[in-house]
């Protein structure tokens, strides 16, 4: 009988004994626990290790065949629509949209602008050292979906189950080792109490915030200045909020729209197609009206459409909605006078064509429109501010995640799939090694093989991470190719997700979108099965 089989039988016997309080009758091939222990101690474990060693050497020789094997594997569509929950498009009668990074998209110049304005606010208004001005926004550092620990001052990337990525914990701009992570947190898993001190950085605007937080922490460390981590977050967040609420960013973008805004005629085509099909459209954004108006006018200035204003595309336009409080507050709607820049005092009990509304709440919105449940779908980029509220209200939700297109492109590439296949093989071998019992005298052989496999695993994980982002890796994935915490929130709050709105133009209006039956978590993550390259 093979040693691995003996071990499984032994484990089953012990478990049965513990649960029942009796001594089970094991199969005839086992002549008692003492006989099995003697057999293992006499070298069966060492034989198994040698067999795994040969399997490992065979695998390394066969790595060259992996690129050929993955050529025929199906590729995912970077412009596809990916489904977590069934959605019938012909059941949708009302389409709602956020503005920033949903209807409009921006160049990388916007992140630099937000970073620089917030940095100056820290120095000029909050009296941070002038030496902080030396830092510049680093687009290669952050990814979406990070967390900031307000108490410990660390930027974290978490996996689907809330554990810290071994290579995804930074204090300032320095990556912490696994030992340092355990010293700080005791374990890599973030418990419920620890989670309360974390702040999620879930939208694209958070790129500049994450980078500025890390740079400020690093500055204090380098300057050997004492600081309290909660204050750093509060001050940086205040500076970022000031940049938005003061209108500094909005005015700068509108003064040079060609530098910051990315024109895309397909977005307008999608909106117009919905109108032609008789769908109702509404715009619900936190941005002020003048910013939305200037941006939409620029984005659509080359288009020919019926009417004199982009507003005629929408049945309802709501600005400065104060999401996410919009979804659970009782704030009344106010009519906004676009000419005088004032708010009316009269109560709003109906939405009129070509009017613009401010503030409001979901409760009043539903009472006025009578739009309810699964006939409404809302598109947004921020999982918490945009989608969590509508999801709980019974609307259908769609996440627009720009990074999805690039990440699927990388996952489709041979380089990523090669490393993923190698990692699968290494994990299988590591599982076999850990399941093997060896004697003390032969323990060095066991440890040597274990060290070599772990080194190979680290190399694969690093290779996969660097294809996306050298600091934090992929947005949707961990370094092991499994789903990240950001993917968890997409799975939880987005019925469907895609890289941009116009991807819907490729789908018939009566399409029934449903998740593939063989997908367990994220439908766009195609995994290379290690069994294809098994050497045993």
What pLDDT is stored for residue 2 in this prediction?
A: 42
For the ranges 49-53, 67-71, 331-335, 516-520, the maximum mean pLDDT occurs at: 331-335
Q: What number does CATH give the domain 81-106+260-401?
A: 3.40.50.1000
pLDDT of the residue at 291: 97
**Parallel/antiparallel/unpaired status of strands 376-380 and 356-359:** unpaired
| Residues annotated within a binding site for Mg(2+) | 98, 381
Beta strands per DSSP E along 150-218: 154-158, 164-171, 174-175, 198-201
Catalytic residue among 58, 98, 228, 315: 98
DSSP assignment, residue 335?
E
Range among 117-121, 184-188, 296-300, 526-530 with highest mean pLDDT value: 117-121
Taking all residues of the chain, what is their mean pLDDT, rounded to a whole number?
A: 86
What is the model's pLDDT at position 440?
A: 57
**Burial letters 200-218, b for 16+ CB under 10 A, else e:** bbbbbbbbbbbbbbbbbbb
Rounded Cα gap, residues 14 and 11, in angstroms: 5
Position 517 confidence tier, pLDDT thresholds 50, 70, 90: confident
Which tokens sit at 138?
């680093």
pLDDT classification of 6: cutoffs 50, 70, 90: very low
Determine the average pLDDT of the residues in 187-208: 89
Catalytic option among 100, 159, 167, 203: 100
Look up tokens 């104060």; give the residue. Answer: 322
Q: Is the pLDDT of residue 36 over 70?
A: no
CA 352 – CA 361 distance, rounded (Å): 17
The pLDDT, as a whole number, for residue 441 is: 57
Q: What is the mean pLDDT of residues 177-189?
A: 91
Tens of pLDDT, residues 198-246? 999 998 889 999 999 999 999 999 999 889 999 999 999 999 999 999 9
- 389 contacts 397 by C-beta, under 8 angstroms: no
Read off the pLDDT band of 526 (50, 70, 90). Answer: low
Given a cut of 70, is residue 15 above it in pLDDT? Answer: no
Ranking 23-37, 267-281, 290-304, 458-472 by mean pLDDT, the lowest is 23-37
pLDDT at 13: 37
In this prediction, residue 27 has a pLDDT band, given cuts at 50, 70 and 90, of very low
* pLDDT band (50, 70, 90) for residue 516: confident
Range in 103-107, 236-240, 418-422 the model is least confident about: 418-422
Spell out the domain ranges in the chain. 81-106+260-401, 108-256
**Tokens linked to 374:** 């699964």
378 vs 427, residue with greater confidence: 378
Give me the pLDDT at residue 3, please: 40
Residue 524 has pLDDT above 90, yes or no: no
Mean pLDDT of 363-380: 94
Residue 18 pLDDT level (bands cut at 50, 70, 90) = very low
* Catalytic residue check, 98: yes
- Mean pLDDT of all residues in 30-48: 45
Provide the token pair at 78: 């970077």
């Amino acid at each position: 009988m093979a040693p691995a089989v003996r071990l499984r039988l032994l484990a089953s016997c012990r478990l049965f004994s513990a649960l029942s309080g009796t001594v089970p009758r094991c199969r005839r091939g086992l002549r008692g626990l003492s006989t099995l222990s003697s057999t293992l101690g006499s070298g069966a474990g060492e034989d198994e290790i040698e067999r795994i060693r040969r399997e490992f050497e065979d695998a390394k020789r066969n790595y060259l065949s992996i690129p050929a094997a993955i050529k025929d594997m199906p590729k995912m569509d970077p412009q596809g629509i990916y489904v977590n929950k069934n959605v019938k498009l012909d059941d949708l009668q009302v389409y709602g949209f956020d503005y920033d990074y949903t209807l409009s998209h921006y160049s990388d110049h916007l992140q630099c602008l937000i970073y620089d304005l917030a940095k100056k606010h820290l120095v000029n208004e909050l009296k941070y050292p002038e030496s902080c001005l030396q830092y510049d926004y680093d687009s290669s550092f952050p990814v979406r979906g990070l967390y900031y620990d307000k108490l410990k001052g660390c930027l974290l990337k978490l996996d689907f189950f809330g554990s810290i990525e071994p290579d995804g914990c930074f204090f300032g701009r320095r990556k912490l080792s696994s030992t340092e992570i355990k010293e700080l947190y005791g374990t890599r898993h973030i418990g419920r109490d620890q989670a309360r001190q974390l702040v999620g950085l879930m939208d694209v605007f958070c790129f500049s915030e994450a980078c500025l937080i890390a740079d400020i922490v690093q500055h204090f460390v380098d300057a050997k200045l004492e600081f309290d981590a909660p204050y750093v977050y509060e001050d940086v967040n205040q500076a970022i909020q000031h940049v938005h609420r003061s209108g500094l960013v909005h005015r700068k973008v509108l003064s040079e729209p060609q530098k910051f805004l990315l024109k895309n005629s397909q977005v307008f085509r999608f909106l117009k197609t919905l109108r032609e099909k008789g769908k109702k459209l509404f715009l619900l954004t936190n941005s002020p009206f003048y910013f939305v108006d200037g941006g939409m006018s620029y984005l659509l200035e080359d288009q020919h459409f019926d009417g004199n204003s982009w507003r005629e595309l929408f049945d309802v336009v709501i600005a400065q909605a104060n999401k996410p409080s919009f979804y659970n507050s009782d704030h009344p709607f106010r009519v906004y006078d676009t000419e005088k820049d004032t708010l009316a005092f009269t109560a709003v009990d109906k939405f009129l064509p070509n009017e613009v509304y401010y503030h409001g709440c979901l409760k009043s919105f539903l009472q006025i429109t009578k739009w309810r449940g699964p006939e409404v779908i809302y598109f947004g980029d921020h999982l918490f501010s945009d989608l969590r509220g509508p999801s709980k209200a019974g609307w259908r939700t769609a996440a627009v995640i720009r990074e999805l297109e690039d990440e699927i492109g990388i996952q489709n590439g041979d380089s990523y799939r090669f490393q993923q296949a190698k990692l699968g093989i290494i994990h299988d071998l590591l599982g076999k090694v850990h399941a093997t019992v060896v004697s003390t005298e032969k323990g060095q052989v066991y440890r040597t093989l274990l060290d070599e496999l772990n080194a190979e695993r680290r190399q694969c994980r690093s290779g996969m991470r660097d294809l996306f982002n050298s600091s934090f890796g992929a947005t949707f994935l961990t370094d092991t190719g499994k789903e990240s915490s950001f993917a968890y929130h997409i799975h939880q709050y987005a019925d469907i997700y895609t890289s941009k709105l116009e991807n819907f133009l490729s789908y018939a209006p009566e399409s029934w979108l449903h998740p593939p039956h063989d997908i367990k978590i994220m439908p766009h993550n195609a995994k290379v099965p290690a069994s294809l390259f098994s050497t045993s």
